[in-house]
Amino acid sequence: MRKQIAAANWKMNLTYQQGEELLDEILSAGVKLNEHQQAIFAVPSPYLLMTRSTVEEELNYFASAQNCYNKKSGAYTGEVSAEMLNSINIKYCVLGHSERREYFIESNAMLAEKVNLCLENFVTPIFCCGEPLAIREAGTQNEFVATQLKESLFHLPAEKIKTLIIAYEPIWAIGTGKTATTEQAQEIHKYLRSVLADQYGEEVANEIPILYGGSVKANNAKELFASPDVDGGLVGGASLVAADFVEIIKALK
């Protein structure tokens, strides 16, 4: 079975002390993960070492960065490199989140550079893709997300791309009052896998976890994750509530 992953994205939330308390609450629930399951916490950079040290004794619990820069090193004040993440034993990094694309104008080409640097430094990218409302309303979401994959990932050989995690975000369903159904989630996840299969073959495509990032909550996670091509979730708000994120972890296939 593909990896089934509950990934928390804390974004720019919580103080250090609140983060410690949240992790302690989640871990105290004692949810044991199977070999194919993972819980990943994408936390603000100042909390990476604390998070890693808190979860590293737990089987299949990991810390992740929320971003890295697209240069190896240099005069880039305030930025964090993939090499730095590797040096403190951080194994995952979220790349191309819709907020990074929108607020920081991150292009597909820039994200390709970030992907390369992460892989060179043994950091697994959690690569985000997804369409805004205007694209969904125009009915061109398939072409839009396919382009995101092709321009940022398809330079990679098969042995590299199958190590990635992909997260699909229906940006149009986040904070708009519109809701993505389980059927819509499965439909586009299946399409994304078909795009990967066209480029790399079905065997490779079937190894790549595709997470859903559209307002996953404790009360809808089990239904979403039951879809054959939905391999867990990239969770925002609900990951900040211990009881909710525990239930989301428990909902993994």
- Pair 95, 127: CB distance under 8 Å: yes
The rounded distance, in Å, linking the Cα atoms of 174 and 230 is: 18
Is 97 one of the annotated active-site residues of the chain? yes
- Predicted local confidence at residue 21, as pLDDT: 98
The rounded distance, in Å, linking the Cα atoms of 87 and 90 is: 8
Reported confidence tier of residue 215, pLDDT bands at 50, 70, 90:
confident
- Predicted local confidence at residue 174, as pLDDT: 77
- Pair 76, 83: CB distance under 8 Å: no
Q: What is the CATH number of domain 4-250?
A: 3.20.20.70
- Residue 78: pLDDT over 80: yes
Give me the mean pLDDT over the 84-112 stretch.
97
**pLDDT per residue over 105-139, tens digit each?**
999 999 999 999 999 999 999 999 999 989 999 99
Q: Which of 106, 169, 189, 247 is catalytic?
A: 169
- Predicted local confidence at residue 14, as pLDDT: 98
Q: Which of 97, 99, 106, 131 is catalytic?
A: 97
Percent of the chain at pLDDT > 70 equals: 98
- Predicted local confidence at residue 179, as pLDDT: 65
- Residue 252: pLDDT over 90: yes
Q: Hey, where are the domains in the chain?
A: 4-250
Count CA within 13 A, CB hemisphere, residue 79: 15
Reported confidence tier of residue 19, pLDDT bands at 50, 70, 90:
very high
Reported confidence tier of residue 173, pLDDT bands at 50, 70, 90:
confident
Q: What is the mean pLDDT of the chain?
A: 96
**pLDDT per residue over 49-68, tens digit each?**
999 999 999 999 999 999 99
- Residue 27: pLDDT over 70: yes
- Residue 176: pLDDT over 70: no
- Predicted local confidence at residue 172, as pLDDT: 86
pTM, entire model: 0.97
Contacts of 84 (CB under 8 A, 6+ apart): 68
